[in-house]
Amino acid sequence: MNLETLPAWAALPAAMLLVLGGLFTVIGSFGLIRLREFFQRMHGPSMGNTLGTGCVLIASVLVSSALAARPVVHELPITVFVVTTAPMTAMLLMRAAVHRSKALKNRR
């Protein structure tokens, strides 16, 4: 069985999730070049990337489960990892940015 003969109950939601995830990711990353300062720029990628990764990985679980004709949760660790670590990175970067902007202000 390959992608050509995938049943419709898996192909349709998977295609929708992929398009949705791509749109989320590209909008989130577009915020990176559109927004003015760092504290605004923080929001776009951290939200868009988490949502986009979640959508893509659910689609991937659907497709590989339908291909193997049994539940395959091979991709679930990636989802859990990305969803738990993205806020941690964002928080650390935010603290670093606050610290650095304070230091810059004190120097002036």
Partner 1 sequence: MNGLLEFAIGFAQFCFVLAMVFAAYRLLRGPSAQDRVLALDTFYVNGMLTLLMLGIRSATTVFFDIALLIALFGFVGSVALAKFLLRGEVIEP
Residues at the interface with partner 1 (CB under 8 A): 2-6, 8, 11-12, 14-16, 18-19, 21-23, 25-26, 28-30, 32-33, 38, 41-42, 45, 49, 52-53, 56-57, 59-60, 63-64, 67, 74-75, 77-78, 81-82, 85-86, 88-89, 92-93, 95-97, 99-100
Minimum separation from the CB atom of position 63 to partner 1 (A): 5
Distances from the Cα of 1 to the Cαs of 4, 11, 23, 61, 75, in angstroms? 8, 13, 29, 16, 20
Question: What is the gyration radius of the CA atoms in the chain, in angstroms?
Answer: 19
Amino acid present at 105: K
Nearer to partner 1 by Cβ, of 32 and 105: the residue is 32
Instruction: Give long-range contacts, CB 8 A cutoff, 24+ apart: 97-105.
Output: 97/38, 97/39, 97/42
Minimum separation from the CB atom of position 87 to partner 1 (A): 11
